[in-house]
A and B are shown apart, each in its own frame.
Chain A
Amino acid sequence: DAGITQSPRHKVTETGTPVTLRCHQTENHRYMYWYRQDPGHGLRLIHYSYGVKDTDKGEVSDGYSVSRSKTEDFLLTLESATSSQTSVYFCATDQGREETQYFGPGTRLLVL
């Protein structure tokens, strides 16, 4: 299995504060993804990266930014958290070209 870790695993924060979630992989996969999972919506793609410093928006990118300065790390930042961003966030990686995606354990974020 791909080694994918996420930190923190749980976080409670207040509206208006910045939050950064970290994803770390040890498999040297080229592609990395951030999803959010909400009841009734399944998985929705926030941002993804296809290489160091190469990122692009997904379907629900408003209010989120990302950075990838190293192959192994992909950061997701909520610049000013809102209650609508309360969710479970998953990082995933793959080698592209119809390959299997590997998921991290998730970060449960509560914005009060």
Chain B
Amino acid sequence: GNSVTQMEGPVTLSEEAFLTINCTYTATGYPSLFWYVQYPGEGLQLLLKATKADDKGSNKGFEATYRKETTSFHLEKGSVQVSDSAVYFCALSRGYQKVTFGTGTKLQVIP
């Protein structure tokens, strides 16, 4: 079946540091890949997505590239802010199959 593995948290960074959150997946065919973000006390919301190999999703300074050869979709940001503190979920969706989520990575950015 489909699966998503993302790095264990929490990740603690100083403001303006570079962020990478690793995500790898297992799926048949060519799934769509997503990063969702959950701010404290809220539901998840889409951060970015990519639907085919070599696509780059980007939003709010975050980027992730769909790498089929390494089955990865790592999330990066060049300079994090305190307001980026949240839980980040990697996810995949394939056809009409149910979405598969990773377990989430908590990011804490300190001033």
Task: Tell me the A residues contacting B by CB distance below 8 Å.
Answer: 1, 4, 33, 40-43, 45, 48, 58, 90, 92, 94, 96-106
Contact = CB atoms under 8 A, between A and B. Distances in A.
Interface of A is mostly: loop
Contact of B104 (A42, A48, A97): A42
Given A45-B98, A99-B93, 9 more contacts: A40-B103, A42-B102, A42-B103, A48-B98, A90-B43, A90-B44, A101-B44, A103-B43, A104-B43
14 contacts: A1-B45, A4-B43, A33-B98, A41-B103, A42-B101, A42-B104, A43-B104, A90-B43, A97-B95, A101-B44, A101-B46, A101-B99, A103-B45, A104-B43
Interface of B: 31-32, 34, 36, 41-46, 49, 51, 89, 93-96, 98-99, 101-104
